[in-house]
Homo-oligomer: A and B are copies of this chain.
Amino acid sequence: MVDEPERTPDERGTPRLVVVAGSTRTGAIDSGAGPISAAGADKEALYDTPGADLEILDYGDVTHAPTVPVSPSGCPTPAVHTRAVRELLGFDVTCIDAGLTRKSGAPTVSLGGNAGGDIRHEEPVGNASELFEAGAAFGRALPDSELAIGETIPGGTTTSMAVLRALGERPAVSSSLPDNPLGLKRRVVEEALASSGLEPGSAAGTPIEAVRAVGDPVLATVAGLIVGATDAGISVTLAGGTQLATAAALARHAGVEAPLTLATTAFVADDESAGVEALAVDLDLDLRVTDPGFSNRDHPAMAAYAAGEAKEGVGMGGVLWLAKRDGIAMKAVRKRIEAVYSRIVRP
């Protein structure tokens, strides 16, 4: 009999990971020459991916979704990587449904209702204000001292680019595809601004209007969450790339002055089109880039990432940084990623 284990989840200094999940019809846009999102390559995958990601994170496997999300080239969702780190660190996970097209089998706090619309049409996020307020109330009420926030929403890099343009910020844009369909994204973003009667920068200082006009439900919710959590004195790490940076931009435009950390993967940081480093400087974000050492590894959950596919998501860059901070070697992380992949990705 031991008297008490040396460390408890509360005493480890490992924060709760809140993952905000949602859908936007923007993710279903396909130019004919190719889709806007990796998940958008297959409409069923587009609808099932966010719910599946939450299940993998919470249960270590899908339970309700039909399959583990894997791209046509064989690249698995970053939920696999985040789950692997969770099995090493043991942090708590809280999933928020900000508007999923298909419900998840994972437990969620439901703040939303509807999926977001295609940003080329009017008011893709009609409930932006309600989501922002609900996110703020949720964040304000948490008893945690530190929080990491991640996202899962196919199409989210395009809505983020549009929101950054509307706010007048640097329109950094990453992609889950190895060849970022930047031309298509730019066309969609310009159409979105035009249909909303917005000029670049004309929504500066009115973040809720920016999301309502050209954003998605996850951005509205995460922005509110940042506002509420920092109000309550909780220290916030944004666990992701350009989408989380965009949520941070919204929070800055809402007046948040608290220090914010952006923790992302080397795959996003190395992507010149993402321009996340400059964006972090603009927004006064403390940038943490973690390289999990996937180059030259002959594994489907690593080689594709090293080649620029998927890159980030479901909190991956944030939890890699937490692992590093907690003294976990990336070798152990990779070993666990292999184990999770073998366990749950069916051939």
Contacts and interface: CB of A to CB of B under 8 A. Distances in A.
Interface of A: 1-5, 8-10, 58-61, 63-64, 86-88, 90, 92, 94-96, 105-110, 138, 141-144, 327-329, 331-332, 335-336, 344
Given A59-B144, A141-B63, A107 B95 contact: yes
A1 B323 CA distance: 10
Contacts of A1: 327-329
A61 B140 CA distance: 13
Contacts of A58: 92, 94
A3 B331 contact: yes
A264 B328 CA distance: 38
A143 B63 contact: yes
B9 A143 contact: no
A223 B257 CA distance: 51
Given A94-B107, A107-B108, A328 B5 contact: yes
A8 B105 contact: no
| Copies of the chain in the assembly | 2
Nearest to A54: B107
Contacts of A86: 9
A292 to B, nearest CB: 14
Contact of A9 (B87, B95, B109, B331): B87
State the 3 A-B residue pairs at the shortest beta-carbon distance, nearest first: A107-B107, A4-B332, A63-B141
A87 B2 contact: no
10 contacts: A1-B327, A2-B328, A5-B328, A8-B87, A63-B138, A63-B141, A105-B109, A107-B108, A107-B109, A110-B110
A335 B107 contact: no
A238 B118 CA distance: 47
Contact of A143 (B60, B94, B331): B60
Nearest to A103: B110
Contact of A4 (B8, B110, B329): B329
Contacts of A10: 60, 87
A142 B90 CA distance: 19
Given A10-B60, A94-B107, A107-B108, A88 B141 contact: no
Contacts of A59: 94, 142-144
B5 A105 contact: no
B143 A61 contact: yes
A100 to B, nearest CB: 12
A9 B7 CA distance: 13
